[in-house]
Amino acid sequence: DAGITQSPRHKVTETGTPVTLRCHQTENHRYMYWYRQDPGHGLRLIHYSYGVKDTDKGEVSDGYSVSRSKTEDFLLTLESATSSQTSVYFCAMRRKDTQYFGPGTRLTVL
């Protein structure tokens, strides 16, 4: 299995609270990604990173920010969570052309 983990695996929070999801890789790869998965939408790209402190927006970036201070960690932050951000969040790392996905974080915003 690819060395990529996510924490927490499940989280329930209230509208308006900040939330940070963590993605950790053990393989020192340059590229990392955050996606969200919703019924009827497949997976959609939120943000991605191409190196430490180098990040850019994806298709559905509104309401999200990211940070990457170390190669192995890529953080996704919801500054003020909304119910529309209830979703399953997947992190991925890229080895050559292939993106390997973590196990996901199920986030519920009440």
Task: Give the interface with other proteins as residue ranges (CB under 8 A).
Answer: 31, 33, 35, 40-45, 48-50, 56, 58-59, 90, 94, 97-104
CA distances, 89 to each of 36, 96 (Å): 4, 23
- Of 92 and 109, which CB lies nearer to other proteins in the complex structure? 92
Separation of alpha carbons 49 and 93, rounded Å:
9
- Of 14 and 54, which CB lies nearer to other proteins in the complex structure? 54
Closest distance between other proteins and the C-beta of residue 87, in Å? Answer: 14
- Of 58 and 63, which CB lies nearer to other proteins in the complex structure? 58
Closest distance between other proteins and the C-beta of residue 93, in Å? Answer: 11
Separation of alpha carbons 21 and 85, rounded Å:
13
Q: What angle do CA 63, 67, 64 make, to 5 degrees?
A: 5
Closest distance between other proteins and the C-beta of residue 23, in Å? Answer: 11
- Of 18 and 103, which CB lies nearer to other proteins in the complex structure? 103
Q: Which residues contact 106 (CB under 8 A, 6 or more apart)?
A: 9, 10, 11, 88
